[in-house]
Amino acid sequence: MDIIIQKFGGTSVATEESREAVFHKIAQAQAKGLSSVVVVSAIGRKGSPYATDTLIDFVSQTAGSMADADYDLLLSCGEIISAVTMATLLRQRGFKAKALTGGQAGILTDSYHKNAELLYTHTDRLLGYLESGVIPVVAGFQGITESGEITTLGRGGSDTTAAILGAALKAKCIEIYTDVNGIMTADPRVYAQAKIIPSISYTEVFQMADSGAKVIHPRAVEYARSANIPLVIKNTFSEEPGTFIVQQVKEKAEGKAAILTSVAHKMNRVQFTIQDEVLSKRELLQEIASHNISIDLINIFPQHKIFTVDKEDQNQLEALLTQGGYSYTFIVGCAKVTAIGERMTGVPGVMARMMKALAKENIEILQTADSLTTISCLIKEEKVKDAVTLLHEEFGL
């Protein structure tokens, strides 16, 4: 039995027309003799009646802030509605189908609400349906604790659901359907000349996702990579081949490959500088982590630390620092621009080329960080479009 996972995002299940396109993709897989497990996101985006953000706004405006467990219970509803809708459509068209919650699909998590971690996956129920010719339609983004509490897997968690199930079922591949033709060398809304990337490594796409590119959730990449299952990013509304995500991309037979694969950016960053003569004796980073605040672009010096956080965490971090008696300053309105490419490893002069390119438009670099496959620069948000364009053109992506 050749199993594939087909995950469809919110725009793919939002309208009658788009759901017809989803049905077509599922029917194509069935015609090829494949056994599909379908994973769906909540219908539409903010403003749509059942979109995740719409549900949050409704309760927040009606009743105020929610307990974390209630938040997860509420947010699971959007995906459940999508699952029931698609399963019903499939049955109307002559297929056997069954709508399932994440918990019913066998996804068991820890009890950390809003961003739960997988503990293990039971596959007996899904395999039973597949062997009986039933198409399971699973509500993405959610799981269940051993005590029966519904949890959610963090934003973008439907991708994670698809990868979890793909790994557990030893699927042939995991298809992530969206409204674009594949992963692009840059955000086309920022750089209109961005191109589709035919194939990319797990490492590179993980770095893209982690650096702000809205391609696929980083945790989904990790699950697929650990199981060595190809991921394919495709367009629900076209027959384009999409982007294949694999362990290692084959080198081109002719021509010189570009050093970089893509340029990603992440907005809404706030840079904090913490100055304290006794920092080395205090567990500041541990305190920040205990409050579930994620830090980025960190540089540590003997008398101060510099790092960035998301704008959403600014107020909480300021309160923590003030309560702890730390001396600090911060800069708002920042963005992280990241050059990504496995081929840059060991190649001298990449940072110098980036600096030179950004200097053409007098773009001030507030901070840098690098790894074997990435170089990131912190700049002001209003310079992002210029920076992405300059780097894209400098490295001939």
Q: What is the pLDDT of residue 54?
A: 85
Distance CA(64)–CA(263), nearest Å, equals: 39
**Tokens standing for 16?**
């009658």
Q: How many CB atoms lie within 10 A of CB 346?
A: 6
| Nearest partner of 304 among 335, 280, 334, 283, judged by Cα | 280
258-295 confidence digits (pLDDT tens): 788 899 999 999 999 998 655 544 578 888 888 888 89
Least confident window among 186-200, 205-219, 306-320, 346-360: 205-219
CA count, 13 A, side-chain hemisphere, 362: 0
CA count, 13 A, side-chain hemisphere, 282: 17
pLDDT above 60: residue 90: yes
Q: How many CB atoms lie within 10 A of CB 353?
A: 17
pLDDT above 50: residue 396: yes
Which residue segments constitute the domains of the chain, with CATH numbers given? 3-246 (3.40.1160.10), 262-394 (3.30.2130.10)
Q: What is the pLDDT of residue 257?
A: 62
| Nearest partner of 82 among 122, 140, 153, judged by Cα | 140
Q: What is the pLDDT of residue 161?
A: 96
Q: What is the pLDDT of residue 276?
A: 67
With b for 16 or more beta-carbon neighbours within 10 A and e for fewer, the 181-211 pattern comes to bbbbbbbeebbeebebbebbbbbbbbbbbbb
**For residues 72, 139, 239 and 30, what is the CA-based torsion angle, rounded to 10 degrees?**
170
Q: What is the pLDDT of residue 278?
A: 54
Mean pLDDT, rounded, for 118-126 = 95
Mean pLDDT, rounded, for 359-386 = 92
pLDDT above 50: residue 365: yes
For 18-64, strand residue ranges (E) read 35-40
pTM for this model (two decimals) = 0.83
**Tokens standing for 91?**
């049955």
pLDDT above 90: residue 371: no
Mean pLDDT, rounded, for 64-89 = 93
Most confident by average pLDDT, 55-59, 125-129, 205-209, 313-317: 125-129
Backbone angles phi, psi at 96, to 5 degrees: -85, 130
Q: What is the pLDDT of residue 212?
A: 82
pLDDT above 80: residue 248: no
Q: How far is CA 389 from the centre of its chain?
A: 23
Q: How many CB atoms lie within 10 A of CB 20?
A: 11
- Quick one: pLDDT band at residue 252, thresholds 50, 70, 90? low
Q: What is the pLDDT of residue 281?
A: 47
- Quick one: pLDDT band at residue 154, thresholds 50, 70, 90? confident
Distance CA(247)–CA(250), nearest Å, equals: 10
183-232 confidence digits (pLDDT tens): 999 988 888 899 999 999 888 988 888 888 877 888 888 899 999 999 99
Specify the higher pLDDT residue, 31 or 215.
31
How big is the CA angle at 268 (ends 263 and 66), to the nearest 5 degrees? 125
Burial class for 323, CB neighbours closer than 10 Å (0-12, 13-18, 19+) = exposed
Mean pLDDT, rounded, for 118-141 = 96
pLDDT above 80: residue 253: no
